Structures are given as C-alpha cells and as structure tokens.
Amino acid sequence: ACFSLGVMVTMNQRLEADTLLLVADEFGYKIEFSDADLEEIEAEEDMDTEEDLSPRAPIVTVMGHVDHGKTSLLDYIRKTNVIAGESGGITQHIGAYNVKLENGQRITFLDTPGHEAFTAMRARGAQITDIAIIVIAADDDVMPQTREAISHAQAAGVPMIIALNKVDRPSANPDNVRQQLSGMNILVEEWGGNVQSQEISAKFGNNMDVLLEKVLLQAEMLDLKANPDRNAQGVVIEASLDKGRGYVATMLVQSGTLKVGDYVLAGKNHGKVKAMLDERGRNLTEAGPSIPVTILGLDGAPTAGDKFKVYEDESEAKTIANKREQLQRELSIRTKKHTTLEELGRRI
C-alpha cells in the first residue's frame, strides 16, 4: 500500500502519522492514538477541582480606532494614583502590567498594540483576554477599526466595555456614538441595553475610576478563578534580546505560580528562570495567576502568543515538547477529514 502511494519504506521504519492513518484505513482498520497521553499532557488544567480554585484578577485588553485614545487611557492608568499605595507609577514599558486599585482589587492590562496582539494571540490559540475595553472618541464616528475591534471581541466571546473618550472636547457628541452603536445592535446601558459603557477623558482622567469599577463589576460577573498551587502555565506576551540581560520574555501566568528556579518551556524555547521582574523593574520570587512578569533565563525569544509551562526539569521539558509536537500532528491529521489517499500521494 505504501509503495502504491509512492512512499518507499522498509518493514521496520516508523511511518508518519498521516501515512499510518490512511494505510490502516485502506485495510479497514482504525488507529487509536494515545488519548491518555494527550490528556495527561494537555488537559492537566481540567484536573483542578472547585476547592483548588481561587479568584484571580481580570485580564483586560484595550482596543479601538487609531487616535481614539488607547495609549492615553493605558498611560493614565499606568501613571496615576488610581494605583493605591504605589508611588512613582510604572516607568518600564512592558507588554502587560497589573494595577492595584484603592479598594485593593487588581486588574491586569495588556499593553500590546491593540487588536493586532489580540488577533495574533488568537491565531495561536491563546485566549487570554477576559474583558475588552473598546475606546471610541466621542467627537468622532464609529470607525472601521472600532467595528473590527468589536467583532474580534464578539467572536472571542469576550465582554466589552465601551469607553466614550474625549468628552472634555466641546465637539464631543457621545449620543452620536451610542446611536451608531445601536445601529450595530450594540445597546449601551444608558439606552437600556446590557453593554456597559462610560464617558471618560483619558487625557484628563475624568471618570477613569468609574470605568475601572465597571471593569471590576464585569469581572465579578465572570467569576474568574484559577488554581495557584501548581506548576505555572500561561502565555508569552512579548520577548526580545536585551544587550545586558540576554533573552527577556514577558509572560502572563494563567494558572499556577511561577517561581525563580522553575524550568520553563515556552514555544520552542526553554530555560531555567534566573530572575523575575514586575512592571516596575522590581525583583519577584514568584507570580501567581493573572500576574505578568518579565523573566530572564530562556535560551531564545519565543513568539507572542506562545504558551509556556513549567516542568520538573530540563529532560522532562524536552521529552514533553517532543511528545506534544507529535500528538498535535496526529490530532491535526485526525481532524483533517477530507484527506484522501490520492491527496496524500500528491503531497508525497
């Protein structure tokens, strides 16, 4: 059968998963790949029971049309005293930061360029945003990138909070924006709908505290939880090569607790965590769920959106990496229902 497919093999040669599958099919057999392995490796997170879980901070992405005020909003939050008990604000510009509000509650903001990051991460299968703030300048219309941002959030099933920005401007007309949104079937609270919204001025800080309260309210409804007591896993936000420090990667912990000394596998890269820093450049020894950290010690720069996971040691990380790759290949073949022998022949 292999020869007829143009695959020249010997009797004791291991076949590629897709070849195996089709050859077996040819003889009326079904191959069972090891689901047990797959579950063990990939579905560890599902093993958490309710009592393992603790509340975690919401992870928020800010999206919107260019010049509508995304950077101003993030900068305001980063620099001002909405952050309790912290002086000086955040100076480091890293892809994510966690702020503590007056009431002690925390919010993590993803400070990556708008929906590019959102789509790049989603394309890689990483869904990390809990809530999307859609910034719309109240002195402008609902623009193409606004629509795009809204449809990304909707497609991902991420609840939105509409921030009607620049209301300090005399030309601001928030009702015009509400009107246009209603034309897209998005009815904000003030108009009797269920989409939260808030008029703000990101530049002057007006009602920014109210906006953040709405974020927390939304978060409460989502009942966000994770297990902090396990090996960490999460997503790479950004990574680069730093002249003095080697490869630095900003990671967002999604579950478990990441610690200095942990062995991390992130995308194709791995290494022992030599040091961890927060958004203020301070050293941390550990970081729990929803906390972003910059880590030092990887052997390269993984790609934004890559998943990371902590393993007991280097050899386990490497074994798992290979196994995972193999299983994913087999799985993707299994879901490719329309592959035929003929197509396989063509590919070979």
Q: Which residues bind ligand GDP (CB under 6 A)?
A: 64, 66-72, 165-166, 168-169, 201-203
103 marked as binding residue: no
Contact criterion met (CB below 8 Å) for 284 and 277: yes
Cβ closest to Mg ion, residue 119 vs residue 326:
119
The DSSP code for 237 is E
Q: Which of 256-292 are b and which e, b meaning 16 or more Cβ less than 10 Å from the residue's Cβ? A: bbbebebbbbbbebbbbbeebbbbeeeebebbbbbbb
* 46 annotated ligand-binding residue: no
Q: Does 93 carry a binding-site annotation? A: no
Residue 72 interaction partner, one of Mg ion, ligand GDP, none, beta carbon < 5-8 Å per kind: ligand GDP
Closest separation in Å from C-beta 238 to ligand GDP:
17
Nearest to 54 by CA among 232, 226, 234, 217: 226
Partner touching 272 among Mg ion, ligand GDP, none, CB below 5 to 8 Å by kind: none
Q: Which residue number, 69 or 271, has a Cβ lying nearer to ligand GDP? A: 69
70 versus 152: smaller Cβ distance to Mg ion? 70
User: At CA 74, angle to CA 119 and CA 139, rounded to 5?
Assistant: 90
Could you tell which of ligand GDP, Mg ion, none binds residue 67, using a CB distance below 5 to 8 A set by kind?
A: ligand GDP
159 interface partner picked from ligand GDP, Mg ion, none, CB below 5 to 8 A per type: none
Q: H-helix or E-strand containing 169?
A: none
The answer to the question of whether 69 is labelled as a binding residue is yes
Q: Largest alpha-carbon pair distance within the chain?
A: 80
- Output the smallest distance, CB 71 to Mg ion, in A: 3
d(CA 156, CA 129): 9
Q: 203 a known binding residue?
A: no
Task: Name the binder of 64 from Mg ion, ligand GDP, none, CB < 5-8 A by kind.
Answer: ligand GDP
What is the helix (H) or strand (E) element at residue 224, kind and residue range?
none
Alpha carbon distance 62, 160 (integer Å): 10
Stretch near Mg ion under the rule CB under 5 A, chosen from 34-42, 63-71, 129-137, 334-342: 63-71
Nearest to 145 by CA among 57, 249, 240, 67: 67
170 is in an annotated binding site: no
Residues 6 or more apart whose CB falls under 8 angstroms from that of 108 comprise 57, 58, 59, 60, 96, 97, 98, 99, 252, 290, 291, 292
Nearer to ligand GDP, 57 or 167 (CB): 167
Specify the residue, 74 or 232, whose C-beta has the smaller distance to ligand GDP: 74
Site for Mg ion in 67-106 (CB under 5 A): 70-71
Establish whether 113 is an annotated binding residue: yes
The nearest distance, CB 74 to ligand GDP, in angstroms, is 8
Q: Which residues bind Mg ion (CB under 5 A)?
A: 70-71
Q: Which residues are annotated as a binding site for GTP?
A: 64-71, 111-115, 165-168
Q: Which residues are annotated as a binding site?
A: 64-71, 111-115, 165-168
